[in-house]
Amino acid sequence: MAKPLVAILSGAGISTDSGIPDYRGPNGLWTRDPDYEKLVTIEYYLADPEIRRRSWAMRREMFDLNPRPNAAHLAIAELSASGAAAVRVITQNIDGLHQAAGMPARKVLELHGTSRTVVCTGCGARTPVADAFARIDAGEPDPPCLECGAILKAATVMFGEALDPDVLASAAAIAKACTVMFAVGTSLQVYPAAGLAALAAGSGARLVIVNAEPTPYDDVAAEVVREPISEAMPRLLRALAPDRTNENAGGRRP
């Protein structure tokens, strides 16, 4: 019997319990400071050295938080490791916490890239973000590429940039094929990522939305959960791996 394919579509809300603020929530970065969005908009970033300086400072602040995976990230990785289901993560996040929790990188699709790597806007050279921070600490507030001298940026998809078509195509294939999709901590307002929830539901998957605030897709979901994500996800995912739950509860099944 084939294993069920469980898709996790995760957004900023899954990482708030790890100390990373979300964007659009009541206390989100953009709710508190609408000008913050300029720091992640490619047009402003390329045109204004001051925006780049502030953007690097913002990313350094996030990096120095040294966030760790929370119970939701760990529960997803544990389900994958249990073998009870084939698990694939499609994340809008750039924090790398799914991989840090134990999800193999090949099973995680990062729709919006990663903040752990820096890319040159000219030649495309990639380096660890820690290298850029070291140069900033040494007195370069806006470090250029060491290969060609062009502007460096985090290897994230900024506003005004297109998603990687190959990554998006893989995400769509998972959405079409999955048995159940958990949309976790995402407002489901940013496209094309938000459309993956509709694609999954329209292809026959059971859509479960776990989010503090209402989303545009609540009406098509089989279940909507408003509980704290780090509490809800371990419970919801344990139901998909009852054998593992029984073993963890006090011994092997007869």
Residue positions annotated with a catalytic role:
112
User: Do the Cβ atoms of 178 and 206 come closer than 8 Å?
Assistant: no
Question: Which residue in this structure is represented by tokens 């990687």?
Answer: 164
First-to-final CA distance of the chain: 22
3-state secondary structure of 10: strand
Q: Is 190 helix (H, G, I), strand (E, B) or coil?
A: coil
E-strand ranges in 23-130 read 86-91, 108-110, 113-120, 126-128
DSSP string, 122-158: TT--EEEHHHHHHHHHTT-SSPBPTTT--BEEEEE--
Sequence-ordered list of residues with C-beta below 8 angstroms from that of 47, at least 6 positions apart, any chain: none
Among 88, 95, 110, 76, which residue's Cα sits nearest to residue 230?
A: 76
SS3 249: coil
Q: List, in order, residues 6 or more apart from 9 with CB less than 8 Å away.
A: 90, 91, 92, 175, 181, 182, 183, 184, 186, 193, 196, 197, 200
Distance CA 127, CA 154 (A): 10
> Starting at the edge strand that comes first in sequence, how are the strands of the sheet with 223-225 ordered?
108-110, 86-91, 5-10, 180-184, 206-210, 223-225
